[in-house]
Copies of this chain bind each other. A is one copy, B any other.
């Protein structure tokens, strides 16, 4: 039976998510309704993606009894309020990253979802790529020995004035890119807080972190070095180093199609979508959609591949990084 989605917002990421869903077998997923603040935008989006109902208010979407799960793809400054509303209306929620602007709000959403007994997940799509499944298998097999370090740098140049570089719009590379480098560290080293987090960073005149460099200490002689930057396009490979070798997740490491492990290079091609995508490799959002369906049909309230604890730890590390580099939280 198709999973019945509502879509909150009609922006770029929502476009990409529905286009990716369109690459899945017909009948697996059904988009029941879309809501945007602007009726014309909602209608145009509904027409393009063949969605039967368009709303100009999120409240109407929340009230739609046919919607099982809401995908929240709005700007992150609205996530907390919107996720709260949908959960209170009894919807399951898949919410884009960064989930909220502070660990306090992330914890509150997790608590609300648990109390309402609804599925709730931060949309860390990376975790569901076949490339990531392969990496987890490689790690579990001991192919690269004992892990000693995880290195990941997420860097995309954005000009000054961009949302990512504007505090009032929920920007900051710790929130926007940090979630990706940290989710990788947690996937390798586990969901708990590291022993230590040490960060430096550069804060712009909007109060927003344009660039950070962070080191993390884990038990068992393990470390991570992660960076985020909107100042320049640097290499976005990520590497997991072990005593016997390494796994390289080829740029873009957060939505990869290529993994190098030892002398072996594995390719994981993505299908094209019916419409052009705004972001790189967005067809890979299909794996996330399927995982959400699997979890909900099995009655799970959290996804074992992207647990609540992980979202909370990521948010706590992000709080700590921002505190150390002098960025106010919320």
Contacts and interface: CB of A to CB of B under 8 A. Distances in A.
A207 interface: no
Contacts of A201: 217, 223
A199 B217 CA distance: 9
Interface residues of A, number: 38
A155 B128 CA distance: 32
A225 B151 CA distance: 10
A224 B214 CA distance: 10
B229 A217 contact: no
A243 interface: yes
A212 B241 CA distance: 14
Contact of A213 (B145, B149, B153): B149
Interface stretch (A34-42, A66-74, A98-106, A232-240): A232-240
Give the interface SS of chain A, mostly helix, strand, loop or mixed: strand
A50 interface: no
Contacts of A188: none
The list of the 8 closest CB pairs from A to B, nearest first, reads A198-B198, A200-B217, A213-B215, A213-B223, A202-B221, A234-B241, A148-B232, A232-B243
Interface of A: 145, 148-149, 151, 153, 155, 157, 195-196, 198-202, 210-217, 221, 223-225, 227, 229, 231-232, 234-235, 239, 241-243, 246, 324
10 contacts: A148-B234, A198-B215, A202-B221, A213-B216, A213-B223, A223-B227, A231-B243, A232-B241, A234-B239, A234-B246
